[in-house]
Every structure is written in structure tokens, then in C-alpha cells.
Amino acid sequence: MGCEAASLLMALWSKGYCTDLSYQQFLAAMPYASDGNPNHGFVGTPYANDGDFDGINMPAVASWGARYASAADITGCSEEDLLYQLYLGHPVVVWTSYKFGPTAPEDYWWGNYKTNAHVMLLCGFDPDSRQFYIADPAPGGAYSGMVWVSWETFTDSFDVMRGAVAVW
């Protein structure tokens, strides 16, 4: 758990911020939601998968990132908006799905989310091959680490929620 924090920290590191912080130190500074609403802070624990909802959503990630750099919640943006952010040199924390597997909208008392949710960092785009360059913090699997992902694979997962936070 904690892919949101790992992705945000990678974005900050890529822009030269928080380079003196480890992942554990960054997790210790993560805001938690006392009201159980992931739009206000992390809900659950990033240290174990206990079967309950564990996560922090875009508004809270953007606010957390803004403590260290400029960050904006651009949730709902189009793929062209993502490409523009990348053109500007802004990495984008994106809400996709684990291993780009099937995902569907899901309703909670606090708002909408998605099944099989996962967060990673969008780092670049190759217009010739129409592939996104991503940094996936999840260990193991075909998509962990820095990898190229096709337009279709990425957008099939991203389009379900279009969650995104740009960092600069």
C-alpha cells in the first residue's frame, strides 16, 4: 500500500524537491483523514493490505505535494491535458489500475473511486510510438519500475476515473 505517497515522492524527486527525504520519512509526513474521507487524507494504513479501503485521493495528494512544490489536482483532465503537462516538464501522479487490469467505477459515501485502483507516476510520452513512460512503484510484474505503456493500455485504465495531480 502507499502507492500514492511513492508516486508523489518520485514526482517531487524528479523536480529536485525532497531529495533528502526517504520514503519512510515522507510517509511519516503524510496527512491522515480523521473523518475517513480519502479526499481529506490517507484512510487506513500504507504499511499493510488489511482488506479494507486504504488510500488517499487527488485533492489531499495535491495539498500534500503543495507543501514541498507546486502541485495541482487536475482530475477529470483529458489525455491531451496530460500530454500538455508532460510537454511543460511536469510529472503527473495518475490513478490507474494495478498492472493495468480491469477496473470499473465504484461509489462510496465520500464519492466515486474505482476497483483494482493503483497509483503511479506519468513521466513522459513518445508521439512516434504513442506510448506513455511511467514509473510504477509496485514491486514485481511487467509494469514495475520505469516502463513504456501503450496509449490504449494506459487510457483504458486512466479513463475510468481520470484522477491526476501535476507537480512542478
User: What is the 3-class SS of the chain, one letter each residue?
Assistant: CCHHHHHHHHHHHHCCCCCCCCHHHHHHCCCECCCCCCCCCEECCCCCCCCCCCECCHHHHHHHHCCCCCEEECCCCCHHHHHHHHHCCCCEEEEEEHHHCCCCEEEECCEEEECCEEEEEEEEEECCCCEEEEEECCCCCCCCEEEEEEHHHHHHHHCCCCCEEEEC
Catalogue all structural domains in the chain, each as residue range(s) with its CATH number: 3-167 (3.90.70.10)
Angle formed at CA 98 by CA 32 and CA 23, multiple of 5 degrees: 45
**Model pLDDT, residue 49:** 80
**Model pLDDT, residue 52:** 80
Tell me the sheet residues that pair with 114.
105
One pLDDT digit (tens) per residue for the chain, 168 residues: 899 999 999 999 999 999 999 999 999 999 999 999 999 999 999 988 877 889 999 999 999 999 999 999 999 999 999 999 999 999 999 999 999 999 999 999 999 999 999 999 999 999 999 999 999 999 877 788 899 999 999 999 999 999 999 999
Residue reference for cell 500504507:
46
**Model pLDDT, residue 154:** 97
**Model pLDDT, residue 142:** 76
**Model pLDDT, residue 144:** 86
Contact 35, 42 (CB under 8 A): no
**Model pLDDT, residue 140:** 79
**Model pLDDT, residue 95:** 98
Q: For residues 122 and 166, give the distance between their C-alpha atoms in angstroms, rounded to a whole number.
A: 9
Neighbours of 133 (CB within 10 A): 15
pLDDT digits (tens, 9 = 90+) for 58-81: 999 999 999 999 999 999 999 999
C-alpha cell at 142: 511487467
Neighbours of 3 (CB within 10 A): 23
pTM over 0.75: yes
